[in-house]
Amino acid sequence: RALGRLEGTALADVGLDGEPEATLAIACGDERHRFAVGGRAYGTGDRYVRAEDGRVYLLPARRLRDLDVAELRLMQHRLHRFPEAAAAAATVRAGERSWRLLHRNRRSAQAAWVAAERPEERRRDLARLMRALWQLAVSEYLEAPPGELGEPVLEARWEGVGGEALGEVTLRRAGEGPSTRYLVRSEVTGGWAEVLPSAGAAVARALDALRGEDPDGER
């Protein structure tokens, strides 16, 4: 829908009087067009855009939806590039304690992480920890960790069938109480990244259950 050339308050009403929120570039053959993206139409989510010649258009929301989720689509959320089924073993460390785990039936629906010393025993506490650990995902990448970090909550390392290193992750806490944040670093992130507090807390609770510090934990 073409609105023509808008000026003054009319331009401000559609969010195109200052720096644009985003820029949309369209190429068709040898033609190139750029549009400044402005505000949303009330009640519809349709977006106002301004062409280089000053004309303003109202575009359907579906045409510009990718602009709203571009950062989420482009950001790498996964901590590892290998599938869990590729891991044949893992070592988990927390403080002075460590657990050596094997991945039994790893490519089947009966896959389970078991203690290396008792591979015939399936344990809920091990399953809970490894499930929570594998479900960690990046919510935000950080240029630097927020303040001083203490000892790692947990460190884990995955290995392939031949014992080759597949990946690793370190989970740390930052802050205390309701403001607690959980930070991770893996072979994919390089530096520190943040995970959702609920996801980090799930790993911490599962670790407490494994160490016998959670009265509600199940073996």
Mean pLDDT of 178-207: 91
Contacts 24+ apart (CB under 8 A), 212-219: 217/125, 217/128, 218/124, 218/125, 218/128, 219/123, 219/124, 219/125
**Contact residues for 34 (Cβ-Cβ < 8 A; gap 6+):** 23, 24, 25, 26, 51, 52
Contact (Cβ atoms closer than 8 angstroms) between residue 32 and residue 24 = no
Buried b (16+ CB within 10 A) or exposed e, 176-193: eeeeebbbbbbbbbeebb
31-87 residue pLDDT tens: 888 888 888 887 667 888 889 888 999 988 777 665 555 554 555 788 998 999 999
82-95 residue pLDDT tens: 999 999 999 999 99
Per-residue pLDDT at 138: 92
The closest of 118, 87, 91 to 103, measured between CA atoms, is 87
In percent, the amount of the chain with pLDDT more than 90 equals 48
Per-residue pLDDT at 103: 97
Mean pLDDT of 3-13: 86
